[in-house]
Amino acid sequence: MTKVTAITLTALVLLLASAMAVSAVDKVEIRGPVATVEDGAVYTWGPQEFAGFYYDIDDNIGQESITLSITGGNVLDEPNGIKYETTAQKDTFDFDEWGEFWTIGFLAEEYFAAYVEGGKEDAYLYYDSTDRNLMVDEQLSKVLIDDDEERTFTTGTPLELEEDYELAIQAIDLDGNKVYVQLMKDGAVVDSAVVEPSKDGADVQDKTYTYKKWLGDTEKIVVVAVHFKNAFRGTDQDLATVDGIWQISDVVTDVEEDTEYGKMTVQTVNAAEPMTITMDNEDNKITLSKNKKQDLMESVKIVTADQDATAEDPLRFYLMKEITEPGTYEIRGVVKEVKEGEPIEWDVSSFAGFYYDIDDDLGTEKITMTITNGDVLDEPDGVKYETTAQKDTFDFDEWGEFWTIGFLAEEYFAAYVEGGKEDAYLYYDSTDRNLMVDEQLSKVLIDDDEERTFTTGTPLELEEDYELAIQAIDLDGNKVYVQLMKDGAVVDSAVVEPSKDGADVQDKTYTYKKWLGDTEKIVVVAVHFKNAFRGTDQDLATVDGIWQISDVVTDVEEDTEYDKMTVQTVNSAEPMSITMDNEDNKITLSKNKDQLLMQNIRIKTADQDVINNENPLRFYIYEEAVIEAEEEEAAPAPVEAPVAEEPVAEEPVAEEPVAEEPVAEEPVAEEPVAEEPAAEEPVAEEEKGIPGFEAVFALTGLLAVSYLVLRKRE
């Protein structure tokens, strides 16, 4: 029994840990404009239309484009159905004394193509490399670091770079002129050199440390460059200040002709000006049918709606870039120019950050900006935000409909749509049905009709630390007694009857209602049971619909402030809407600013060298998205602890029978067993009079007694 118990518990812990690890994996999806599948349609998207493509607002750099040509009704035929092209552009290093390099967007990322020709003083990295152009060898390298931020590091704290490189100070001479450094990768020394930042007349070569290596077929090209501003020899430790770092990946990306990336194949590579790469979908015909997410190339995919398309309502689709690497990312809107008096607008088609549901074509958020006095978004009419609720059908459609609304670039629940018990049960089961009457919203956490099976030993996990647990199933398998817990404490219990004759949606649905702010007893959790089964070892149930909204409401009361935006109107009747403006918050659009507008939506202006009538200041709105890796990596760590401590759980069981009574005094063992159901009695008492469960509790007690007796005999 002990071994079986330990193995079972271990398996459950591992299963739960793996589920947690999967659920902890986050991702960012950046969508392009929504298009429709129509025979003969041709769509071309560049970095302005598709925010997933590489774009640098400061230098207006980004030349990727993709053209889709639909034939045969819904086919992107090969090889001309999809054409991709990108062109390299000159860019200045952030530490501009190094000169320029050729940058190129490829597969929706920034890559280094070549160093721009020059002399030792104005193009040192070109001068210091043996080969200077990766595209001659049909390859590219990702740009990892390009900045001119000042950093100080010491003999005890190396300068950390990307790809597990770090630069360490080994010694500084007595005059503080010469710095002896070592470059390490994965802790092993790969290079060493002397830099002389403080000597008289030091030039860019004296002050720059470079690390050169072969990249594929490209000979000795600069991979790391660090510019030293000064160095100082101290009594306890030496230190140096750097003000320029450049690093490209030492893992090259192949762009040789006929190289395949997903469904796209490289067709041409031109290493001379204009430096270009083209691809198409050679040998890969793509069919645009409903409810698909198809890989196109690397992180770029094509997403089609789960939609019953008609001639009047053609199938919707968009390009999407999916990011899973940890980091902070910008989901940007279309780039605009600072021009006085012209209203500028972003909606769900021009700003991928706004909430949008392609399946039901839902999403109405909009921001309008009007610039006055040259570069001012005056208050209160400089920035206007509006959003309107729309009806949406629950994924488990027997529950009917609800009002959904995009707000602050997220999906929120506004109200249940009116109906009867059979076709709108969650409306029927709530006391209050409309959160917007009380000027509040709640985030939609779960809305799906995926089938899940859970057992007495493995509760159904929900969001915000809720879980639904099976306590018992009656002998006929008709009635399921469940408890809802939050943070491990029971908050509700009920009986669901999914298998009884003639069971309707009410019989099969468990709901949890609670006050949300001023809104009385509204359904927060709903779970639809498909069936239940009483087993010999454990009971189980299958659910095929889950709905959950947050029990933490979001305030949309008039005059509520969200950073620089203030709620002005809330309409809780159709059309249900919210408007905001920048009351009391004048915003100036000057160069090189990153300003918070509301929540995680920001305004970014270019760090532009030339601003005039012909070249106005560029800017865009964006949503900041963060993917954190720490939780995902840390999750497996505690998994072994409960398994290793299994014997601790056995000690109280083993000690009690040995210390308190001989084997012959079996009845004594029944006392603690009897106490266990007693602890659960207060919850069970709420359901008194329900037939079938008394026998279940009695059998549970007998099984527990048998278990202890067998333990003592072992």
Residue 595 has pLDDT above 70, yes or no: yes
Digit-coded pLDDT (tens) for 635-684 = 444 444 444 344 333 333 333 333 333 333 333 333 333 333 333 333 33
Mean predicted confidence (pLDDT) in 395-424:
95
Task: Give the Cα separation of 665 and 663 in Å (integer).
Answer: 5
Mean predicted confidence (pLDDT) in 241-259:
97
Helical (H) or strand (E) element with 429:
helix 425-429
pLDDT at 15: 33
Q: Name every residue whose Cβ is closer than 8 Å to that of residue 292 and which is 6 or more positions away in sequence.
A: 302, 303, 304
Residue 26 has pLDDT above 90, yes or no: no
Residue 465 has pLDDT above 60, yes or no: yes
CA distances from 159 to 164, 221, 335 (A): 11, 21, 35
pLDDT at 623: 96
Tokens 């079986």 correspond to 4
CA distances from 402 to 329, 393, 399, 626 (A): 32, 6, 9, 30
Digit-coded pLDDT (tens) for 645-658 = 443 333 333 333 33
Helical (H) or strand (E) element with 680:
helix 666-685
Tokens 């799906």 correspond to 448
Mean predicted confidence (pLDDT) in 102-111:
97
pLDDT at 78: 96
Mean pLDDT of the chain: 87
Q: Report the amino acid identity of residue 547.
A: W
Tell me which of 645 and 109 has the higher pLDDT.
Answer: 109
pLDDT at 420: 80
Digit-coded pLDDT (tens) for 61-73 = 999 999 999 999 9
Q: Name every residue whose Cβ is closer than 8 Å to that of residue 706 and which is 6 or more positions away in sequence.
A: none
Confidence of residue 478 (pLDDT cuts 50, 70, 90): confident
Tell me which of 700 and 118 has the higher pLDDT.
Answer: 118
Q: How many CA atoms lie within 13 A of 505 on its CB side?
A: 17
Mean predicted confidence (pLDDT) in 305-318:
96
Task: Give the Cα separation of 206 and 228 in Å (integer).
Answer: 9
Locate 435 and state its tokens: 């959160």
Among 443, 447, 345, 404, residue whose Cα is nearest residue 578: 404
Residue 516 has pLDDT above 90, yes or no: yes
Confidence of residue 121 (pLDDT cuts 50, 70, 90): confident
pLDDT at 479: 93
pLDDT at 319: 97
Digit-coded pLDDT (tens) for 134-179 = 999 999 999 999 999 999 999 999 999 999 999 999 999 988 889 9
Residue 687 has pLDDT above 50, yes or no: no
The beta strands (E) that lie in 487-576 are given as 489-496, 509-516, 519-533, 540-549, 554-555, 561-562, 565-571
CA distances from 485 to 429, 440, 470, 495, 525 (A): 20, 25, 11, 15, 12
Q: Say if strands 366-369 and 577-581 run parallel, antiparallel, or are unpaired.
A: unpaired
Digit-coded pLDDT (tens) for 41-95 = 999 999 999 999 999 999 999 999 999 999 999 999 999 999 999 999 999 999 9
Residue 701 has pLDDT above 50, yes or no: no
Please check whether residue 599 is in contact with residue 562, taking contact to mean a CB–CB distance below 8 angstroms: yes
CA distances from 513 to 401, 516, 519, 601 (A): 18, 9, 11, 33
Q: Say if strands 594-598 and 601-605 run parallel, antiparallel, or are unpaired.
A: antiparallel
Mean predicted confidence (pLDDT) in 377-392:
97
Residue 521 has pLDDT above 50, yes or no: yes
Locate 424 and state its tokens: 């709108």
Q: Report the amino acid identity of residue 157.
A: T
Residue 356 has pLDDT above 50, yes or no: yes
pTM listed for this prediction? 0.81
Angle at 247 between CA 242 and CA 250, to 5 degrees: 145
Residue 193 has pLDDT above 90, yes or no: yes
Confidence of residue 11 (pLDDT cuts 50, 70, 90): very low
pLDDT at 630: 60
* Burial category of 20 from C-beta neighbours within 10 Å (exposed 0-12, middle 13-18, buried 19 and up): middle
pLDDT at 8: 37
Residue 406 has pLDDT above 60, yes or no: yes
